[in-house]
Amino acid sequence: MTGFNERQFEKTELFQEQVEKNFNTVQNYWFRALKEGTVMDGVEFNEYNGVYVKKWLYDDYSKRKWGTYDKKFEYNEFFKQLYKQINDDELGIKVIDTKRVITWDDTEKPHDKTKQTSKTLPVIIIPDLETCRKVFNKKQQWEYSYNVDEIPKCLIEDD
């Protein structure tokens, strides 16, 4: 059989579902964000021009439950795994890791429970939603439709 390669085959929906069941918790967290179009408790994906305080993002990840496979990554490993989901050298897509002065309305309570209304914090700047979805699809070698009503069962949190 000339030209036959058992590693090259057409990916089926069933096969992709199996791949999703093997996602680690960071992949599940990121996939859920892409499906819902939100990051950190319903914050619209591009609401803050893609700038997210790292601690707040990690806290949001940490409080989630993923069912039977609930291995949480430590802070640094979480971001290392997250960057793998977003960065794509071929497409020139990269997360920017920096510090920014974050200011909040003094009527809101900041996540760190201080009385400050601004603080320099480590942040990441994530590309827009459509770019992130494009990169994820490429890495998964699968074209997701990102219909919010069709969130796979493996991504639904247990209470």
Where in the sequence is the domain holding 50, given as residue range(s)? 13-155
Length, in residues, of the chain: 159
Calpha distance 42→44 (Å, rounded): 6
Residue 157 has pLDDT above 60, yes or no: no
Residue 101 has pLDDT above 70, yes or no: yes
The tokens of 98 are what? 């920096």
**Percent over 90 (pLDDT), the chain:** 52
37 falls within a domain: yes
Give me the sign of the Cα torsion angle 83, 89, 91, 97: positive
Is the pLDDT confidence value at 109 over 50?
A: no
Instruction: Flag whether 110 is in a domain.
Output: yes
Domain annotation covers residue 2: no
What mean pLDDT do residues 90-98 have? 93
pTM score of the predicted model: 0.78
The pLDDT assigned to 30 comes to 95
Q: Total domain count for the chain?
A: 1
Q: Produce one character per residue of 28-45: b if its CB has 16 or more CB atoms within 10 Å, e if not.
A: bbbbbbbbeebbbeeeeb
Residue 132 within any structural domain of the chain: yes
In a domain, 21, yes or no: yes
